[in-house]
Amino acid sequence: MCGRYYVDDETAREIEKLVRQMSEKQRQESIKVIGRITAGDIHPGKDAPVLSGESRSISCGWQHWGFPGFQGKKLIFNARCESVLEKPLFRDSVLHRRIVIPASWFYEWNSAKEKNVFRRKGMPVLFMAGFSRQYEDGEHFVILTTAANASMKPVHDRMPLILEREEIAQWILDNAKTESILHKIPCLLERKTDYEQISLF
């Protein structure tokens, strides 16, 4: 599960590195988006910077985190990798509107309600797989979750689907890679709490 994450200046700089090879027009539009990024937590219902595909290249834009729930229910902000292609609400988006959500780290709470921070060791940003859907008020996105790996299991049985840097373009642009990436095991992460720090590398 992923219900809150953090972005900052490092996130913005990493996004800028990824979009440097785009056409001039796309690059300028993305730089405007990047310039709006301020340090802080992102939670469901909030707008956030995401990477998406445009003209077979990567661009950056703002989208709203969470699909509207049915009959006024809570936002749908996560989807399970194992069943996402079977769900009518998600299937078309996963097949045709895949995105990547950059973050400095994400949070998860254990059964004792203690907050844990998860990040990539030695890396300023991690990249979470997701997908989007168009609504009347604009693009909304959902983050994909998968079974927890060894670094996540002490806290929760689910975790975001974390992509390697070289998988970003594959996930967004290459339809042939979708199913294999949905079944990948994410990398190990570093966990930190207010009272201890545990590195699982």
The CATH number of residue 127's host domain is 3.90.1680.10
Mode of pairing for the β-strands spanning 98-103 and 162-163: unpaired
Mind listing the pLDDT tens digit for each residue in 135-169?
A: 999 999 999 999 999 999 999 999 999 999 999 99
pLDDT at 23: 55
More confident of the two residues 153 and 22: 153
CA distance 156 to 153: 5
Q: How many domains does the chain have?
A: 1
**Nearest CA-CA partner of 171 in 18, 21, 41:** 18
Q: Which domain holds residue 34?
A: 5-199
pLDDT, residue 156, reads: 94
How many CB atoms neighbour CB 73 within 10 A?
Answer: 8
pLDDT tens, position by position, 56-100: 788 889 999 999 987 667 899 999 999 999 999 999 999 999 999
| CA 11 centroid distance within chain | 12
CB 125 within 8 A of CB 189: no
201 falls in which pLDDT band (50, 70, 90)? very low
- In this structure, what is the dihedral angle of CA atoms 128, 134, 135, 136, given to the nearest 10 degrees? 130
Distances (CA, A) of 195 to 5, 62, 188: 20, 35, 21
